[in-house]
Amino acid sequence: MVFRYKAFLSYSHKDQKAAMRFHRALENYRLPKHFAGNNPSADAHNDRLGRIFRDRDELPAAEDLTAEVKKALESSEFMIVLCSPRAAASRWVNKEIIEFKKLRGEAFVLPVILEGEPGASAEDQNTAANECFPPAVRFKLDANGQLSRRLAEPIAADMRKSADGRQNALLKVIAGLLGIGLDQLIERELRRKQRRVIAVTVASLLATLVMGVLTRQAITARHDADQNRAQAEDLVEFMLTDLREKLDAVGRLDVLDSVGAKAVSYYDAQSVDKLGEGSIGRRARAFHLLGEVEELRGDMDDAQAMFDRAAGSTAALLARSPDDPQRIFDHSQSVFWSGYMDIRRGNFATALSSMRLYKVYAEQLVAIAPKNPEWQMELSYAYSNIGTLQLLNMHQPREAFANYSAAVDILKDLIAANPNDPTLLLNLADMFAWSGDALRNFGLASKTMAARAKQQKILEGFLTLNPRHKDALRQLSICFAAQGWIAFYQQDPAAGGYFEKAEEILDTLAESDPENRAWQRLQSDNQLRLARVNMVYGQLENADAAFEQSGHLPVPQIVENEANIGDRIFWGLHRPYIELKLQAFKKGFTAVKNDAVLLLKVATSDSLDVTQHEHGRRAVADIYMLAIRSLLAAGDNAKAQRLLSSLWAGETILGPLKFGAEQDPIWVNIVAEIAFLRGDTTLLTKLKNDYEKRGYKLTF
């Protein structure tokens, strides 16, 4: 029998975004040539699985399936069920599965786990809500086509990272649709992926080939081996510089990982004691690259291990040749990454020491060769890094702005000599972004928006010529989100539009590389901001939708990464705060009193330790205000006043920001709300007047 659809995709409409991605992945999957001819459902090109039916609208409030859905079920060879706690609770998903089992039987139902736990409902009431399998997946049908209590024991593809992961789960489903062994498909897929990687990184593979040839030749001819080794070293240098720069634009972590791993593999095959200084330096840069990749994947421990291996080599080389610019440069990179990892872990004092040492090395390089553009770039990076620590963790926006301005001046001079250099242009755009953030703390709103407009102009011009450049797209998404935030604190109704522009870009980035957690986090942050904006504007349905998306986008294991202070703030404080604030807007502040007080207890616990971070202090202050508002609404004025006094006296939270008007508009808004609740009309009037002079309006 020839079916119209290869499969019917059944899912809860609360999982619609995941269903759309999975649907696209199936319909766009190109069959390996070996299998394409054996697929009766393939399209006219004979290299696709065939059509996958996905109903695009909510089912009506009726007791049975629509005629369109029934017809699609009859015309489908397989059913794929996206399993999650939402799907397990959906009566429509359950009805679709039962109807399909009546038509085709159990063997043609392919479950795919999105999240939750299979069999959780069978354990106890505490875990039942986490069940991912709908009842019609868990149990067999009886002779009358009714759901029985006989367990079906389904074998599911599991998209969770702790199990199959997205790609392997997809391949499991495709193997099931084709009726072939998974190992056959994976083998063919690996061969095809190898061909793709070869197409993108042909120079890398050529280098590997040359390295292998060199190893064999070294056995018979030392002279030839020395010559060929020099050629291989040149190719490795190409891989770690020019090729790496091109791959950065592609933004694929797997390809970058391959380049770094091949370089390390080449050097590890030789005795490290016999490597020359140049080879050890290149080996260290390969470890830097691998560390960057692991950091982008969110694996802090593996990233740190790579940077530590690099630092051991570069420090030893610098001790041997303290005046050699290449040795200074190589070790400066290790110092930078050490400082960066301290920033990610929340060790800001240690990070500042590293970044200042990094600047010392950059100044040494410029003193050795003042006209060398690479050393000038290092100095601009050093100014920028110190400025960022001053801005985010030392409450010194003016000093930060001065450092950003110094970096801008260096970049402008370099661009004057190389007007089309992509690295220079993107770094200049980034410096305008940071300058805007510094200005936001003490300058006019118009100047902040002007700095962001400069960033936007550079990026849009760059993307006109390089439309797929991932880092430029990432920067542009952040630029739009920053403009949205300023517009929000100006009470400009257009604020939401900026966040929606950012969302479009981030969706594209995340789909292009599902392993990149940095892009997933940007998605989540952007959705929470959009939820907050819509909430204040009274658009609660839109706020609900944005909040829900903020939780679906990141990889779930990110929550467990306690080493990352940004994740502790996001998952432990900021997201729960927005959830409770939404409930307060919908049900009243009294309804969230107990949860708000409990969240405040978590936020102020010593174990969380987030008040050293600017975003952590803001989150704690927000939670204080929510708890105080809820207590006042419930009539518990005494406890509300105690919390208000505690917040006002809390130097670790408000710090030097308490009375100053020249600060981030977010903080001005918080301090003004505290002044309002304390009845301090003098301070409130002063803050309001200074705020409006800068171009902002209070939002509480």
Contact yes or no for 229/274 (Cβ under 8 A):
no
Least confident of 359-363, 378-382, 606-610: 606-610
- Above pLDDT 90, what percent of the chain? 38
- Residue 607 forms part of a structural domain: yes
Q: Highest mean pLDDT range out of 138-147, 164-173, 409-418, 669-678?
A: 409-418
Query: When comparing pLDDT for 360 and 219, which is higher?
Result: 360
- Specify the DSSP element, H or E, that contains 328: helix 325-345
Q: Tell me how crowded residue 59 is: count the other CB atoms within 10 A of its CB.
A: 17
| pLDDT tier for residue 46 given thresholds of 50, 70 and 90 | low
Range of the domain at 182: 5-188
User: Is 60 exceeded by the pLDDT of residue 462?
Assistant: yes
What mean pLDDT is predicted for residues 687-695?
92
Q: What is the pLDDT of residue 252?
A: 43
User: Is 90 exceeded by the pLDDT of residue 446?
Assistant: yes
- Residue 269 forms part of a structural domain: no
- Residue 325 forms part of a structural domain: no
| pLDDT, tens digit, 9 for 90 and up, residues 118-165 | 888 876 677 778 889 999 998 888 888 888 888 888 888 999 888 888
Q: What is the pLDDT of residue 282?
A: 67
Q: Which of 171, 188, 205 finishes a domain?
A: 188
| pLDDT tier for residue 168 given thresholds of 50, 70 and 90 | confident
Q: 3-state DSSP call for residue 606?
A: coil
Phi, psi of 131 (to 5 degrees): -60, 135
Token pair 């502790």: residue: 568
The 3 state secondary structure assigned to 470-532 is HHHHHHHHHHHHHHHHHHHHCCCCCHHHHHHHHHHHHHHHHHHCCCCHHHHHHHHHHHHHHHH
Q: What is the pLDDT of residue 402?
A: 97
Q: Which of 131, 163, 188 finishes a domain?
A: 188
Q: What is the pLDDT of residue 275?
A: 53
- Residue 509 forms part of a structural domain: no
User: Is 70 exceeded by the pLDDT of residue 646?
Assistant: yes
**What burial letters (b/e) apply to 38-53, b meaning 16+ CB within 10 Å?**
ebebbeeeebbbbbbb
Q: What is the pLDDT of residue 570?
A: 82
Q: List the beta bridge partners of residue 7.
A: 52, 78
Contact yes or no for 473/463 (Cβ under 8 A):
yes
User: Is 90 exceeded by the pLDDT of residue 413?
Assistant: yes
- Specify the DSSP element, H or E, that contains 297: helix 277-297
Q: What is the pLDDT of residue 315?
A: 86
Q: Which residue type, as a one-letter code, is found at position 210?
A: V
What mean pLDDT is predicted for residues 95-113?
91
Calculate the average pLDDT of the chain: 80
- Above pLDDT 70, what percent of the chain? 76
CATH number of the domain within which 71 lies: 3.40.50.10140
Spell out the residues 6+ positions from residue 551 whose beta carbon is closer than 8 angstroms to its own: 524, 575
Query: When comparing pLDDT for 244 and 592, which is higher?
Result: 592
Q: What is the pLDDT of residue 58?
A: 42
- Residue 16 forms part of a structural domain: yes
Q: What is the pLDDT of residue 41?
A: 53
User: Is 60 exceeded by the pLDDT of residue 661?
Assistant: no
- Residue 238 forms part of a structural domain: no
| pLDDT tier for residue 296 given thresholds of 50, 70 and 90 | low
Query: When comparing pLDDT for 66 and 562, which is higher?
Result: 66
Residue by residue, DSSP assigns 81-109 as EEESHHHHT-HHHHHHHHHHHHHH-GGGE
Spell out the residues 6+ positions from residue 347 whose beta carbon is closer than 8 angstroms to its own: none
Q: What is the pLDDT of residue 294?
A: 64
- Residue 630 forms part of a structural domain: yes
| pLDDT, tens digit, 9 for 90 and up, residues 223-243 | 443 443 443 444 444 444 443
Q: Highest mean pLDDT range out of 33-37, 233-237, 404-408, 607-611?
A: 404-408
Q: What is the pLDDT of residue 586?
A: 94
Contact yes or no for 54/10 (Cβ under 8 A):
no
Q: Which of 188, 208, 238 finishes a domain?
A: 188
What mean pLDDT is predicted for residues 98-120?
90
Least confident of 188-202, 317-331, 635-649, 662-676: 188-202
Write the CA distances from 173 to 11, 134, 169, 337, 446, integer angstroms. 15, 18, 6, 40, 53
- Residue 636 forms part of a structural domain: yes
Query: When comparing pLDDT for 113 and 296, which is higher?
Result: 113
Least confident of 88-97, 293-302, 308-317: 293-302
User: Is 80 exceeded by the pLDDT of residue 409?
Assistant: yes
CA neighbor of 290 nearest in space, from 280, 277, 303, 275: 303
User: Is 80 exceeded by the pLDDT of residue 390?
Assistant: yes
Least confident of 175-179, 256-260, 388-392, 564-568: 256-260
Q: 3-state DSSP call for residue 157?
A: strand
Least confident of 134-143, 253-262, 287-296, 495-504: 253-262
**What burial letters (b/e) apply to 530-569, b meaning 16+ CB within 10 Å?**
bbbbbbbbebeebbbebbebbebbbbeebeebeebbbbbb
Q: What is the pLDDT of residue 497?
A: 92
Q: What is the pLDDT of residue 214?
A: 45
Least confident of 80-94, 276-290, 334-348, 388-402: 276-290
User: Is 90 exceeded by the pLDDT of residue 676?
Assistant: yes
Alpha carbons 618 and 389: distance in angstroms, whole number = 17
Contact yes or no for 201/258 (Cβ under 8 A):
yes
| pLDDT, tens digit, 9 for 90 and up, residues 184-216 | 676 666 566 555 554 444 444 444 444 554 445
Query: Residue 60, CB half-sphere, CA atoms under 13 Å: how many?
Result: 8
Domain count, the chain: 2
> Would the pTM count as exceeding 0.75?
no
Alpha carbons 442 and 396: distance in angstroms, whole number = 10
